[in-house]
Amino acid sequence: MTYRNLISPTSSSTAAFPPHDAALSNGTAPTSNPASHSPPPLKKVLTKGSGINRHLQHMEYAVRGELVLRAEELAKKLKLAQQPAAALPFDHVTYCNIGNPQSVGQPPITFVRQALAAAVCPSLIGAGPPEQSASKGMFPPDVEERVKQVLEASHGVGAYSDSRGLEVVRARVADAIRERDGGIACDPEHVFLTNGASDAVKTMLGLIVRGTGDGVMIPIPQYPLYSASMTSMRGVQVGYYLDEDKGWSLSMAELQERLEEARGQGVDVRAIVIINPGNPTGQVLTRQNMEGVIRFCEREGLVILADEVYQQNVYVTDKPFISFKKVVTEMHSKVELASFHSVSKGVMGECGLRGGYMEVVNMHQDVIELIYKVLSVSLCSNVIGQLAVDLMMTPPKPGEPSYELYNAEVTAIFESLRRKALALSEGLNSFEGVSCNPSEGAMYLFPRITIPEAAKVAASERGMASPDVLYCVELLEQTGICVVPGSGFGQKEGTYHFRTTFLPPEDQISDVIEKMRTFHSNFMKKYSANSQS
């Protein structure tokens, strides 16, 4: 087959590809009218509206939405102003909109950065070419040994890896999963290293959603990755509400009702997303709750997508993190499961490295091979992120040279997060008309706020999708604190929320609370007064 036939069904080559110079083909002189050769005005192919994929246009991602763009504008204005205090009623922007710990001051862990530095520049540990090698002893011996193990089993960070990730790292991650789950086996061939957990989630959703009639159950409130991905894939988001009045608990009756409702509307519901610990709600599931979900999925034929990226961020002692892999295995369940983890969260907070993994359980070998093929399209995830996953899952052990410093740094970060979570939730609960469940895990609080009727009218007049958008916009413009409206995550009709992280440095949390308190009081007075006039 020729390329011409691929392009055009016309059998004649002259019909498919007319000569550029008519004089050469028919012996006649070309026309002397230059206007006849003027090209038509060039029109843009990609235009807003029908010119680009409408499903992508409708996709929304609240944590990086318009409010954040406004925050960045204000930050630039402050940077350019000679007298920042005179330009705006605050002197800096506090980003509480996204779980990005190092962007707001959380320090990187020394062991992690030493190992990554040595992997990127092996000469620092005498592992590079002789003419480039530095003197040994720059890093602790266990760091050097760790990096050499990876370098000897790979082509280094500058080369592609297997599409599933480096074999040596997958084997170490599998060992760590087995240790985490009390000895339950983990097959390295069922572990895939990805660019953060997000790529793994989108890969699985892409396998599950076959067309416009397929649905996935997603918690409300939810992390917008799921709703955005479902919109782009033309699937159906089947929301199930978490119970705010019971600490954002998950009700089996609610799951059943939403499933039957969706199926009654012709939706083929194929999977359920569970975020544990919760985002944006911060709850931690009990084992009893997890067993209920697994039995529900067995009965209804659903795949479980377990978003477990906050498994190291659990601040309560009575509800320790338990993986879905552990519970599924101990129940001898055959339910299909994909679980996700990431270096962006936990105590590492290495969001920019884009490292994560997915483990699949009880899936057909054909599906595992298809996952491999899908990931192969991108060749592999970034290798530095893969190494970060290894460092997260297999940290220094007691007795090793790096352990003492590593343990001190990790403990300090974790305990600070625990204290900040408590301080901010207690502060928010002291505001008039605000109620906030404490964070049992993760990095967020999702307080419910009272919105006066006049504020609802003002938001509507300004074309805002929800009154909580007005609240968050005015909070930003008056205090410099950037949070995300609850409507960006989903919420029960008639309720209003915002999501905030508790990631700013500990010595700034009390200032954040007081700024929020003053703003909230003024907001309530402003719009209550308007409603009475």
Going from N- to C-terminal start, the domains of the chain cover 61-104+407-532, 153-393
Find out whether the peptide bond into 277 is cis, omega within 30 degrees of 0: yes
Rounded Cα distance between 314 and 320, Å, is 7
CATH number of 61-104+407-532: 3.90.1150.10
Three-point CA angle 208, 299, 336, nearest 5°: 40
Within 8 A by CB and 6+ apart from 486, the residues are 221, 446, 448, 466, 468, 495, 496, 497, 498, 499
Q: For residues 276 and 279, what is the distance between their CA atoms, to the nearest angstrom? A: 8
What's the pLDDT score for residue 160? 85
Token pair, residue 139, equals: 């890093």
Of residues 172, 123, 114, the one with CA closest to residue 141: 114
Distance between CA atoms of residues 363 and 259, nearest Å: 23
Q: If the chain, 533 residues long, is cut into consecutive pieces of 10 residues, what is the mean pLDDT of each piece?
A: 42 42 48 63 70 59 67 85 68 88 91 94 74 65 92 86 89 96 96 93 91 93 87 91 93 96 96 95 94 97 96 94 97 97 92 94 92 88 92 96 96 95 95 94 94 93 90 94 90 92 92 95 87 45
Domains 61-104+407-532 and 153-393 share a fold: no
Q: Are the CB atoms for 470 and 458 separated by under 8 Å?
A: yes
Helices in 265-323 by DSSP H: which ranges? 287-300
Listed residue (268, 296, 393, 291) closest to 342, CA to CA: 393
Q: Name the 3-class secondary structure at 281.
A: coil
What residue type is 107 in one-letter code? P
What is the rounded CA–CA span in Å between residue 62 and residue 188? Answer: 35
Residue 4: count other Cβ atoms within 10 Å of its Cβ. 14
Q: Concatenate the DSSP letters of all residues of 183-214 into one string.
A: S----GGGEEEESHHHHHHHHHHHHH--STTE
DSSP three-state, residue 441: strand
DSSP H or E segment with residue 239: strand 236-241
Name every residue whose Cβ is closer than 8 Å to that of residue 354 and which is 6 or more positions away in sequence: 195, 196, 344, 381, 382, 385
CB 201 within 8 A of CB 345: no
In degrees rounded to 5, what are phi and psi of residue 358?
-130, 135
CATH no. of 153-393? 3.40.640.10
Residues 201 and 224 sit within 8 Å (Cβ to Cβ)? no
Beta strands 448-449; 434-435: pairing state: antiparallel
Structure tokens at 16: 């498919």
How far apart, in whole angstroms, are the C-alpha atoms of residue 77 and residue 447? Answer: 30
Q: Are 464 and 70 in contact (CB under 8 A)?
A: no
pTM (2 decimals)? 0.85
The pLDDT of residue 33 = 60
Counting every residue written for the chain, the total comes to 533
Specify burial of residue 269 (Cβ count, 10 A radius: 0-12, 13-18, 19+): buried
Tell me the C-alpha distance between 510 and 523, whole Å.
20
Nearest to 447 by CA among 466, 459, 430: 430
Classify residue 383 by burial, with Cβ atoms within 10 Å: 0-12, 13-18, 19+: buried
**CA 476 to each of CA 430, 480, 525, 526: distance values in angstroms, whole numbers, following the listed order:** 20, 5, 18, 16
**Could you give the CA distance from residue 443 to residue 115 in angstroms, rounded to a whole number?**
26
Instruction: For residue 118, give the nearest of 91, 90, 149 by alpha carbon.
Output: 149
Structure tokens at 9: 């069904």
Which residues 6+ apart lie within 8 Å of 12 measured at CB? none
Give CA–CA dist 440/278, Å, rounded: 9
H helices, E strands: number in the chain: 20, 14
